[in-house]
């Protein structure tokens, strides 16, 4: 009996002494969904030998690709060091072709399905689709699924387990929560919402903390309130795990934990693996690193690609220290630095390195520009956030015109520390006639919480506005379903009233619409809130006061915490940002104009080139010819809730990532004051830049340097584009 058959037989409880042939189970639907459909697109691909692809690599890349197949290798690649994926892909090909490792003996892990699919397609060109399909390649979750489907019965896990998505997991918590919280305080009931509990459980699992481990921690806590909270969470965690087991289901965290358990108890499952390769290693968490150690234990051969300077996901439990752990656990480790940067000008790299090198604990590595110095990075100070946004809009128009058509709006990005900062920028771009789009989310006035509060304000200003009424009559939940709302609208139409008129009558006890007592109570509270706010508006109260009144009366923040889970804090920041205008009707006019413009934009040609608005986190891995980073202030970079040295260092890396998205032009800006809610706060330049600007006084300039023919030709080379016509450049400049 061969190796796999023996293990499968043990999993099935068969007598391994008998030569009983065992047939592996067919790939499950969940696994099939995680793998790309390669056959149709790659069957015609041929194969390439090392002599065909090695000459295209630079010296460091070639050293990484051809490193010995045994032993461990860290490929530390900076941003824009062209070919990180290419290096990992060709390393896999070289191991297969030159060192004759069988594809089944390699494990290749990426962080996204998209990255795995791209690598499979690239590899298919080199080694052929049939070979690629034999590789153990995918995300940590998909690799664990494959091992668990095949060998799960070794740990008493049926191979037909279900993978529970977030909605399934929330449904379980909602089912078990009432009985657990019945004996606890009302305050605790309000706090412990399903989304919050699921996040706590996920964090426990990512730290390999079982329910019993969590309870052991509770025993060490002296504060009675904290102990009560932890006890409730422990009971939810324990019952949640029991429900998953009863349903033969695993959540996403369980896929890793059960995979870890399988490999800890039965290391023979991966004893044939000869080399493990991991992409984006700086983003691995504790559980993932434990998996890597177990898979690579037998061979001791581990290749990773990563950049500690781009480790910006600590809030998702990523641990940049795993790079140092690898050095100790897999010694000796060969380190190869991919430091040639093919993206940015020398001036941009100089500014980025000056920022990140303030962290004296980082791995000392550099970046070497392959492009000329280019224009200096601009560091602009504006009196207010509105002035800062107007400056950005004006600079975008200036750059597009003076580039002579070399760049357009689609080549420009405004990178934000958090989403709420987009509001003033969006308004400024709109006023200047500059189209924009938001990556990884909605534009400010399209966000659900913003629309909710706008609808309340619209109804306060104009009670006959039915669209606003229908959006918020059941936000937060008041027990009024679609049927009840339709009945209210139907009565209004029949009687010639507004929907608000019907609600007022219902609040006063009228039976014009049949409602339950709970629904009537909800309508009464709704009418009371809007009526009170209307009185405040007539007295000239500010938008901020009205929003505060509505949010307090309807418990809107609690509503966000209940419905949005980990996103609640950022959504509340959007509510706070909404409070920065005083006059109600002026505010509504501006905001509704923005909303209407966005609606028209959505209907316009989707191919239109637009300025990109994005958070820095969502921009990682991307690049633009022109980048603006507003809000370079203390409290934004670093974020005001960042306190520990590790958190501060991660915030510094976040600014580094933002700067290194730029290819040709980069502008950093800050304002001397910024509105936080209804309060104007004085702001100071981020310490990440204040120290650098004092140490290197010529590193930044206050205004963009002149863009002439020489700069345009230079930038064309950086961007890999034809140099623009000077005649066209002159026309664009004159037309500005």
Active site residue 85: yes
Q: Helices H, strands E: what count in the chain?
A: 34, 19
224-230-232 Cα angle (round to 5): 105
Who contacts 309 (Cβ-Cβ below 8 Å, separation ≥6)?
A: 78, 79, 356, 362, 365, 653, 656
Edge to edge, the sheet with strand 275-278 lists 136-138, 106-109, 275-278, 302-306, 72-77, 333-338
What integer pLDDT is reported at residue 447 of this predicted model? 86
pLDDT digit string, tens, across residues 8-46? 444 444 333 333 333 333 333 333 333 333 333 333 345
Which segments of 324-367 are extended strands (E)? 333-338, 340-341
Active site residue 661: yes
Q: Which fold has domain 162-247?
A: Arc Repressor Mutant, subunit A (1.10.10)
Q: Do domains 50-157+255-338 and 445-593 have the same CATH topology?
A: no
Residue indicated by tokens 């008493």: 156
d(CA 418, CA 87) in angstroms, rounded, equals 33
* 8 A C-beta contact, residue 369 and residue 345: yes
The one catalytic residue among 653, 661, 674, 683: 661
What integer pLDDT is reported at residue 568 of this predicted model? 83
Encode 674-695: b = buried (16+ Cβ within 10 Å), e = exposed: bbbbbeeeebebbebbeebbee
Mean pLDDT of the chain: 87
* 8 A C-beta contact, residue 635 and residue 683: yes
> What is the phi/psi pair of residue 473, to 5°?
-60, -25
Who contacts 731 (Cβ-Cβ below 8 Å, separation ≥6)?
A: none
Helix (H) or strand (E) holding 369, with range, is strand 368-369
d(CA 610, CA 412) in angstroms, rounded, equals 8
Active site residue 343: no
Instruction: State yes or no: cis peptide before 638, omega within 30 of 0.
Output: yes
Distance set, CA 169 to CA 156, 158, 195, 243 (Å) = 22, 20, 10, 10
What integer pLDDT is reported at residue 8 of this predicted model? 46
Burial of 626 per CB tally in 10 Å (0-12, 13-18, 19+): buried
Distance set, CA 664 to CA 218, 342, 346 (Å) = 53, 11, 9
* 8 A C-beta contact, residue 708 and residue 733: no
The one catalytic residue among 279, 359, 388, 449: 279
Active site residue 310: yes
The one catalytic residue among 110, 139, 310, 686: 310
Task: Give residue limits of the domains in the chain.
Answer: 50-157+255-338, 162-247, 346-435+608-735, 445-593
Burial of 355 per CB tally in 10 Å (0-12, 13-18, 19+): buried
What integer pLDDT is reported at residue 187 of this predicted model? 78
User: Could you please report the per-residue DSSP string of 224-269?
Assistant: HHHHHHHHHHHHHHHHHHHHHHHTTEE-HHHHHHHHHHHHHH-GGG
3-class secondary-structure state, position 413: strand
Mean pLDDT by 10 residues, the chain (736 residues): 47 38 36 37 59 92 95 91 83 96 96 88 92 94 94 93 90 93 83 89 88 87 83 94 93 94 96 96 91 95 93 80 93 94 95 94 89 96 96 96 94 94 92 89 82 91 89 92 90 92 92 89 94 91 90 92 79 84 59 50 62 93 95 94 91 96 97 82 95 94 92 94 89 83
What integer pLDDT is reported at residue 175 of this predicted model? 93
3-class secondary-structure state, position 633: strand
d(CA 34, CA 41) in angstroms, rounded, equals 17
Encoded tokens for 682: 């004085």
Radius of gyration of the chain (CA): 29
Q: Where on the phi/psi map is residue 677: left (φ > 0), alpha (ψ -120 to 50), or beta?
A: left
The one catalytic residue among 251, 280, 309, 577: 280
What integer pLDDT is reported at residue 678 of this predicted model? 66
Active site residue 667: no
Q: What is the dihedral of CA 588, 590, 592, 598, to 10 degrees?
A: -160
Q: What CATH number does the domain located at 346-435+608-735 have?
A: 3.40.50.300
Q: What CATH number does the domain located at 50-157+255-338 have?
A: 3.40.50.300
d(CA 444, CA 595) in angstroms, rounded, equals 9
Residue indicated by tokens 């061979």: 299
The pTM for the full model equals: 0.75
Q: What CATH number does the domain located at 445-593 have?
A: 1.10.486.10
What integer pLDDT is reported at residue 472 of this predicted model? 92
pLDDT digit string, tens, across residues 487-502? 999 999 999 999 999 9
Active site residue 280: yes
> What is the phi/psi pair of residue 108, to 5°?
-120, 120
Encoded tokens for 56: 């295209």
What integer pLDDT is reported at residue 32 of this predicted model? 37
Nearest to 415, CA basis, from 406, 407, 425: 425
What integer pLDDT is reported at residue 38 of this predicted model? 38
């Amino acid at each position: 009996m061969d190796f796999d058959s023996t293990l499968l037989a043990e999993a099935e409880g068969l007598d391994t002494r008998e030569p009983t042939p065992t047939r592996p189970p067919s790939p499950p639907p969940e696994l099939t969904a995680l793998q790309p459909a390669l056959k149709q697109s790659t069957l015609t691909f041929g194969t390439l030998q090392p002599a065909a692809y090695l000459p295209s690599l630079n010296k460091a890349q070639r050293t990484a690709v051809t490193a010995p197949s045994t032993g461990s290798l860290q490929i530390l690649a900076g941003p824009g060091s062209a070919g990180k994926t290419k290096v990992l892909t060709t390393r896999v090909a070289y191991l297969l072709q030159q060192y004759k490792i069988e594809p089944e003996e390699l494990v290749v892990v990426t962080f996204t399905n998209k990255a795995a699919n791209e690598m499979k397609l690239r590899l298919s060109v080199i080694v052929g689709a049939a070979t690629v399909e034999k590789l153990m390649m995918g995300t940590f979750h998909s690799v664990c699924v494959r091992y668990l489907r095949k060998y799960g019965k070794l740990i008493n896990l049926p191979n037909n387990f279900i993978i529970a998505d977030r909605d399934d997991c929330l449904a379980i918590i909602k089912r078990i929560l009432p009985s657990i919280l019945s004996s606890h305080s009302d305050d605790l009931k309000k706090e412990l919402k399903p989304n919050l509990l699921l996040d706590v459980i996920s964090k426990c699992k990512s730290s390999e903390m079982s329910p019993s481990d969590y309870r052991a921690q509770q025993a060490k806590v002296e504060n009675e309130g904290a102990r009560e909270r932890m006890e409730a969470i422990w009971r939810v965690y324990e019952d949640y795990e029991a429900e998953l087991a009863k349903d033969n289901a695993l959540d996403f965290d369980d896929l890793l934990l059960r995979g870890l358990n399988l490999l800890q108890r039965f290391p023979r499952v991966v004893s044939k693996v000869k080399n493990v390769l991991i992409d984006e290693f700086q983003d691995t968490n504790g559980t993932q690193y434990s998996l890597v150690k177990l898979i690579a234990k037998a061979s001791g051969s581990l290749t990773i690609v990563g950049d500690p300077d781009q480790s910006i996901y600590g809030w998702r439990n990523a641990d940049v220290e795993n790079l140092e752990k690898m050095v100790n656990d897999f010694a000796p480790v060969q380190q190869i630095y991919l430091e040639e940067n093919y993206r940015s000008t020398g001036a941009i790299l100089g500014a980025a390195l000056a920022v990140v090198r303030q962290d004296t604990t980082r791995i000392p590595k550099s970046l070497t520009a392959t492009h000329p110095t280019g224009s200096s990075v601009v560091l602009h100070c504006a009196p207010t956030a509105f002035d800062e946004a107007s400056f950005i809009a004006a600079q975008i128009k200036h750059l597009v015109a003076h580039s002579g058509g070399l760049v357009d709006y689609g080549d420009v990005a405004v990178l934000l520390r958090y989403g709420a900062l987009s509001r003033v920028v969006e308004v400024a771009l709109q006023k200047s006639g500059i189209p924009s789009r938001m990556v990884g989310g909605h534009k400010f006035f399209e966000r659900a919480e913003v629309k909710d509060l706008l609808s309340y304000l619209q109804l306060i200003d104009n009670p006959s506005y039915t669209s606003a009424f229908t959006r918020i009559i059941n936000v937060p939940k008041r027990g009024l379903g679609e049927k009840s709302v339709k009945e209210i609208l139907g009565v209004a139409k029949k009687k010639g009233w507004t929907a608000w008129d019907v609600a007022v009558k219902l609040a006063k006890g009228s039976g014009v619409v049949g409602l339950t007592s709970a629904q009537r109570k909800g309508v009464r509270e709704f009418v009371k809130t809007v009526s009170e706010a209307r009185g405040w508006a007539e007295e000239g109260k500010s938008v901020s006061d009205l929003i505060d009144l509505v949010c307090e009366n309807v418990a809107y923040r609690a509503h966000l915490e209940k419905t949005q889970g980990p996103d609640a804090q950022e959504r509340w920041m959007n509510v706070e940002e909404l409070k920065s205008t005083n006059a109600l009707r002026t505010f509504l006019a501006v905001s509704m104009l923005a909303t209407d413009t966005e609606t028209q934009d959505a209907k316009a040609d989707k191919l239109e080139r637009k300025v990109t608005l994005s958070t820095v986190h969502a921009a990682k891995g991307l690049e633009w010819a022109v980048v603006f980073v507003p809000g370079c202030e203390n409290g934004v970079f670093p974020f005001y809730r960042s306190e520990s040295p590790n958190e501060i260092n991660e915030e510094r890396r976040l600014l580094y990532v933002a700067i290194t998205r730029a290819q040709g032009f980069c502008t950093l800006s800050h304002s001397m004051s910024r509105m936080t809610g209804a309060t104007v706060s004085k702001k100071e330049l981020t310490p990440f830049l204040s120290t650098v600007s004092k140490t290197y006084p010529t590193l930044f300039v206050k205004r963009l340097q002149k863009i002439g023919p020489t700069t345009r030709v230079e930038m064309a080379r950086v961007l890999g584009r034809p140099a623009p016509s000077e005649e066209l450049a002159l026309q664009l400049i004159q037309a500005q």
